[in-house]
Structure 1
Amino acid sequence: MNGIKGLTLSELAARYPAYDTAEIDRILIPALKSLDRQFIVLDDDPTGIQTVYDVAVLTVWDTESIAAEMRGEGTMFFILTNSRSLSHDDTKELHRTIARNIAEASKLTGRDYILVSRGDSTLRGHYPAETETLRRVTEEMLEIPVDGEIICPFFPEGGRYTADDIHFLEENGKLLPVGESEFARDKTFGYTSSNLKDWVAEKTGGTFGAGDVVSVSIDELRREDYRAITEKLTGLSGFRKLIVNALDYDDIKVFVISFIQAAASGKRYILRSAAGILKVLLGKPGRPLLGGAELRSGSSRGGIIIAGSHVSKTTRQLEKLKELPDVVFLELNQHLALDSAAFAGEISRVQNLAEKEIEAGRTAVIQTRRERFDLNTGNREDELRLAVTISDGLTGIVANLRTAPGFIIAKGGITSSDVGTKGLKVRRAMVMGQILPGIPVWKTGPESRFPGIAYVIFPGNVGSDNALKEAVEKLRG
């Protein structure tokens, strides 16, 4: 992998010259202010807000709700699609509906926009179905071409970097090509390629070959060659793909400056990105991690943690959490999911136990059995439907709680979306910020089941082994 595999990030970064960050910011800030379009982020699970704060998240997508956000002063808002939990066909239909409603809202408000399809930083999700659907509907509704697609899975808070067009994740302090990770073996969204040009060819079935994909290298970015990068962007047509290499946020800032210049020329793009670039596009100054005083509700009741993720990192984090006092683990047997009556009884049993712990001021951790339950039918969508059934069971526990917890944490993408929308009945939330790097917090709206509560959306694949333990300590005070 071009001699990068096995390096530390600092060893790789040492190969490139450093930036004058103050000079980049001097160019970036007015460039962002000059942009007359709003960024609308379609988030395939709730974790795309990992790098932003003071932005709205909609869990509904009717035209009037979208128009209300477009009438506001915000430069960005999110629509939670939770499409990673949907089938391929349902995802396409959902994106057709949302793209039409956004275009109608734009006509109603007179405000133009740029679409961002926020996907997983480890490349899982319905790609290219989502961005291709958005492109087709946008072109149909606005009667203008979408010239290119920007692919940017950079997410340093989770240890995700791209160099020489190869996407890496940081594991035990070393850079590992993402195609060699456990995430590439995902039952539903697996892949083999770490080189993003090859990944595009793989995922599009050769519709876009590796040779058709353009990229912006770290060398170009470190030279701050804005003209050359802008020319690459303005040269895109026919929804051609462009990959952004990046090792740090200054790389992204240089790219965004060129992106704004290209957009100002009249070119239109859709972004397929992780959460990293959104931080720069939002244009807000950095803020500290949320403190305990901002997060605690003042309630003496215990919290509840819903752990649906089965990646190895989550398992290690749950083991570390056991070191805290007054944390009680309750196991939900998801292996009963194919027997609806037995599964309903299991859900009721766990809910009753959780309520007793919350009332007693203890933190209830509801986790599924750590042994995976796979159907192994060879059909990826069968596995996805099973995952949704299990997530619905976990969500039902929150939806039917008779006791308001002091806080709520949901672990895993599908789980956290379902807890927010189905369990807590949130229609619009505000992103408070992050409790730990890459771990965002919603403040639930007045319409929700438990208004004004801190709801922590904890990705399955983010954080140190101690991160979940640290979050609970902060929430409990």
Structure 2
Amino acid sequence: MRIQASTALSRYPSLSPDAVKALWEKEISSFKHQIIVLDDDPTGVQTVHGVSVYTDWSEASIEQGFLEPGSLFFILTNSRAFSEEETRQVHQDIAERAAAVSRKLNQPFLLISRGDSTLRGHYPLETEVLYETLQGEGNPIDGEILLPFFFEGGRLTLEGVHYVRQEDELIPAGETEFAKDRTFGYRSSSLAEYVEEKTDGRFSAKDVTLIPLSMIRSLAIDEITSLLMNVSRFNKVVVDAAEEQDVRVFTIALMRALRQGKTFLYRTAAAFTKVIGNISFRPLLTAPELVNPEASTGGLIMIGSHVQKTTDQLEKLKELSTLHFLELDAHLVLEPEDFQEEIDRVQREAEEKVQAGVTTVIYTRRERLDLGQNMKEKELQLSVDISRAVTSIVQRFAVTPRYLIAKGGITSSDIGTNGLGVRRATVAGQVAPGIPVWTTGEESKFPHLPYIIFPGNVGAVTTLRDVAAMLEGTNQP
């Protein structure tokens, strides 16, 4: 049932920032775990800054992450674009290697499976593989925390129900377009029922522990800790949250439970990673921080996501008359020779424009490629082939753009890893709420390039246009 956000949230008392801060500072000072975030697409860094993102998961890279001065690093798996078998292997490899490095360095760690805030992805496969592997490595796990709250994207959880906020209306996640995803769709908005649905009943909704917002807002730290201490046999914990401070209160109780020997895996959105990583506030990045005003080339904007929000944002972006737009007919993927000709055409024209100082937007044909029922694996593979085609344009691009924006999770991951050849990037911050920026490493195709990772389902209809206008130094429209 849809509800009004202002009405629903008015039922709960506000938290005292000073009280939460005092509790937090006391707890964080004794928290010594290394935090490893496995990101199923590059958008999971949309709340942090000053942390590293690794695009491979070799034992050497994981050890380098452990040895960094900060307590948090990301591994970009891009597993949302993987088959189930690929996903299984990657997560088994990472868990084994993380456990080995932990033993070598005598450093405790925790693994966060950072997934989509609208619940799409390989769940429960990813955390189940981590659980099975860590158990086999002698690292017992008591339970799993589900915390998909993400304020910047308007994702709230109240009374165990996950919502997507639009203006002042809270829409149950199961009623949104995201729940109709052909590969990762679902029915349930109640997270306990979502668990039962996704695990085919292996974990019952009635066995899920709820941490309600009423308990969080009353600062019932001891009661929350007690609930966590009673979780066992990899049962699930669902956490309510409507603002970042709610996550912080829960995390205080979580740290107390960890100190008493409890162990968990985590399936969360980006808010939890910021909080448990103790990442400070940073203002949004500005054009002078990102773009060299002396650069003579144009920028490059690559749009692959097909959610309706991206399509609407593209239409608004077209209001910027200084940009050049090129459509890539992705449906030609079914005819490989014709598709390659199309890729070459788009690349040549884009290079000419960017060299001439004109920022160019390359976008895939907006109509979805629909192969019919029971073809989700084939459609996923074709979407990967299309993303590879878009990536190849960047990979072969002969001109260094002033900046690069990639729209969509799979698109931005493939461009970052394969198109730009990034092996380790630094998160500079966000250019708009929920929209992160990487600074590419020396090893990349375009070193030190501001690479803006724009999630498909984030922002207002005008946000992409506004970001581009800022970078272009124009007040249009």
Give SS of 1:337's match.
Answer: helix
State the secondary structure of the residue aligned to 2:389: helix
Paired residues, number: 472
Alignment equivalent of 1:184, drawn from 179, 182, 186: 179
SS at match of 2:316: helix
Amino acid in the other structure paired with 2:247: I
Of the candidates 384, 390, 396, which is equivalent to residue 394 of structure 1?
Answer: 390
Q: Which amino acid aligns with 2:157?
A: T
- 1:119 corresponding residue in structure 2: 115
Instruction: Return the alpha-carbon distance in structure 2 between the equivalents of residues 407 and 158 of structure 1.
Output: 24
Alpha-carbon shift at residue 470 of structure 1 (Å): 1.2
Spell out structure 1 runs of 4+ moving beyond 4 A.
Answer: none
Contact conserved, 2:6 with 2:168, CA < 8 A, in 1?
Answer: no
1:44 to 40, 45, 55: 40
Q: What is the CA–CA distance in structure 2 between the aligned matches of 1:297 and 1:158, rounded to whole Å?
A: 30
Shift of residue 29, structure 1, vs aligned partner? 2.3
**2:241 matches 1:246:** yes
CA deviation profile, 1:258-303 (whole Å, cap 9, x unmatched): 0000001111111100001112112132110011111113412111
Contact 1:297-1:407 at 8 Å conserved across structures: no
**Residues 220-255 of structure 1 deviation map (CA, whole Å, 9 limit, x = unaligned):** 111111111001111111111000001111111110
Aligned: 1:262 with 2:243: no
CA distance in 2, matches of 1:33, 1:274: 24
* CA distance in 2: counterparts of 1:173 and 1:14, whole angstroms: 12
- Give 1:362 shift: 1.2
Q: Is the 8 A contact 1:297 1:453 kept in 2?
A: no
Deviations 1:90-114 (CA, angstroms, capped at 9, x unpaired): 1011111111111111122221101
Residue 15 of structure 2, aligned match among 14, 19, 41: 19
Q: Is the 8 A contact 2:332 2:339 kept in 1?
A: yes
Contact persistence 1:118–1:272 (CA under 8 A): yes
Amino acid at match of 1:319: E
2: distance between equivalents of 1:198 and 1:177? 13
Distance 2:28 2:420 in 1: 35
AA aligned opposite 2:116: D
Over aligned residue pairs, what C-alpha RMSD do you find?
1.0
Letter aligned with residue 427 of structure 2: V
1:380 deviates by 1.6
Aligned partners of 2:165 and 2:145: how far apart in 1? 23
Q: Partners of 1:329 and 1:134 in 2: how far apart?
A: 43
Q: CA deviation at 1:196?
A: 0.4
1:169 to 164, 172, 182: 164
Pick one of 59, 62, 67 that aligns with 2:58: 62
Aligned residue type for 2:233: G
State the TM-score, normalized to the length of structure 2. 0.98
Structure 1 residue 377: Cα displacement = 4.3
Cα deviation, 1:142-178, whole Å, max 9, x if unaligned, reads x131001000000010000000110000124311000
Task: Report the 3-state secondary structure (helix = DSSP H, G, I; strand = E; otherwise coil) of the residue aligned with 2:366.
Answer: coil
Residue 380 of structure 2 aligns to a residue whose secondary structure is helix
Aligned counterpart in structure 2 of residue 104 of structure 1, from 100, 104, 112: 100
Amino acid at match of 1:203: K
Is the CA contact (8 Å cut-off) linking 2:40 and 2:79 kept in structure 1? yes
Paired letter, 2:128: E
**Structure 2 residues not aligned, in runs of 5+:** none
Q: Distance in 1 between matches of 2:68 and 2:48?
A: 18
- The reply on whether 1:279 has 2:274 as its aligned counterpart is yes
Range that drifts further, 376-385 or 204-213: 376-385
Instruction: Give the Cα separation in 2 of the matches to 1:380 and 1:104.
Output: 36
Residue 410 of structure 2 corresponds to 414
- Provide the rounded CA distance (Å) in 1 between the counterparts of 2:57 and 2:334: 32
- Which residue, 297, 313, 317 being the options, matches 2:313? 317
Tell me whether 1:28 sits opposite 2:12 in the alignment.
no
Q: Is the 8 A contact 2:284 2:430 kept in 1?
A: yes
Is the Cα–Cα contact under 8 Å of residues 230 and 259 in structure 1 kept in the other structure? yes
